[in-house]
């Protein structure tokens, strides 16, 4: 019932239900499950400090009841990391992501998709912190797994290429950025509908790189494409088209 209330946006009723269940929960595993529901509720509301408190209560239970390398513990560390990342507290996020990653590396096969996600999470935090060489290190680990685990035209593989391209762009290494952005675009053109927002993002990214390289005619040809996609997929009164 609580999950249904969350889906339809009845956050207050969901919280009341979970609080009542929490009062009546007699064992740690039940309390941990309810804390998880409260975490998601606060996360959906954008109340990240409150979400972090519930995650840490859940973590406290898991630390007492689970083996130290249990994957459930790793997912909880990862969830706390995401909350801190959303709050802009990148050092704290990194600490929790690294704890999650350590468990995943011990507990999962080397090419497991969850491990790829973990590397991507760490890479994203390093990118947000401006530590681009470290970001590349982890994004490349993510890409290595994605190449082995996913079909060659999978959208997630395009995202991995795009992330690396973004780092190279921020480093001012525009030819390298272009190389990875184009790989991402090639997959997205094959795997996504022609008016998909990710395609617009790819065209824009490539256009910006060409602009930064001083190749303005090429930049213009790519930068016009996102507008064309928006005109097809959004109403004419939408602010992003008017602007």
pLDDT tens across 112-130, in order? Answer: 999 999 999 999 999 999 9
**Tokens representing residue 153 in the block:** 């035209």
Contacts of 11 (CB under 8 A, 6+ apart): 5, 41, 44, 45
- Summarize pLDDT for 138-182 with one digit per residue, the tens: 999 999 999 999 999 999 999 999 999 999 999 999 999 999 999
pLDDT at position 45 over 80: no
Q: Taking the model in full, what pTM does it have?
A: 0.81
Percent of the chain with pLDDT over 70: 77
Q: Are 183 and 166 in contact (CB under 8 A)?
A: no
Which candidate, 58, 54, 2, 4, places its Cα nearest to that of 30? 58
Dihedral of CA 136/138/140/146: which sign?
negative
The pLDDT value given to residue 39:
63
pLDDT at position 216 over 50: yes
What b/e string do you get for 229-240 counting C-beta neighbours within 10 Å, with b at 16 or more?
Answer: beeeeeeeeeee
Domains and CATH numbers, the chain: 1-65 (1.25.40.10), 72-147 (1.25.40.10), 150-243 (1.25.40.10)
The pLDDT value given to residue 229:
79
pLDDT at position 6 over 60: no
pLDDT, greater one: 212 or 194? 212
For the chain, where are the alpha helices, taking DSSP H only?
2-7, 11-24, 28-44, 48-65, 71-86, 90-107, 113-128, 132-149, 155-170, 174-191, 197-212, 216-233, 239-242
The pLDDT value given to residue 242:
45
Mean pLDDT of the chain: 85
Average pLDDT over residues 45-74: 84
């Amino acid at each position: 019932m609580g999950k249904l209330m969350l889906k339809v946006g009845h956050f207050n009723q969901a919280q009341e239900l979970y609080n009542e269940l929490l009062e009546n929960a007699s064992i740690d595993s039940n309390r941990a499950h309810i804390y998880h529901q409260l975490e998601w509720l606060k996360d959906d509301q954008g109340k990240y400090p409150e979400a972090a408190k519930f995650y840490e209560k859940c973590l406290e239970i898991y630390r007492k009841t689970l083996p130290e390398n249990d994957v459930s513990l790793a997912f909880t560390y990862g969830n706390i990391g995401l909350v801190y990342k959303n709050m802009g507290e990148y050092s704290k996020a990194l600490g929790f992501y690294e704890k999650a990653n350590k468990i995943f590396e011990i507990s999962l096969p080397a090419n497991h998709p969850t491990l790829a996600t973990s590397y991507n999470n760490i890479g994203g935090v390093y990118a947000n912190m401006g530590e681009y060489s470290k970001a590349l290190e982890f994004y490349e680990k993510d890409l290595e797994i994605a190449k082995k685990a996913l079909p060659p035209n999978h959208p997630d593989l395009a995202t991995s290429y795009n992330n690396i391209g973004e780092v190279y762009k921020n480093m001012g290494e525009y030819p390298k950025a272009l190389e990875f952005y184009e790989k991402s675009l090639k997959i997205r053109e094959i795997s996504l509908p022609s008016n998909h927002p990710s395609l617009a993002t790819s065209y824009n990214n490539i256009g910006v790189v060409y602009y930064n390289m001083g190749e303005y005619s090429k930049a213009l040809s790519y930068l016009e494409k996102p507008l064309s996609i928006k005109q097809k997929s959004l109403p004419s009164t939408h602010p992003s088209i008017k602007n």
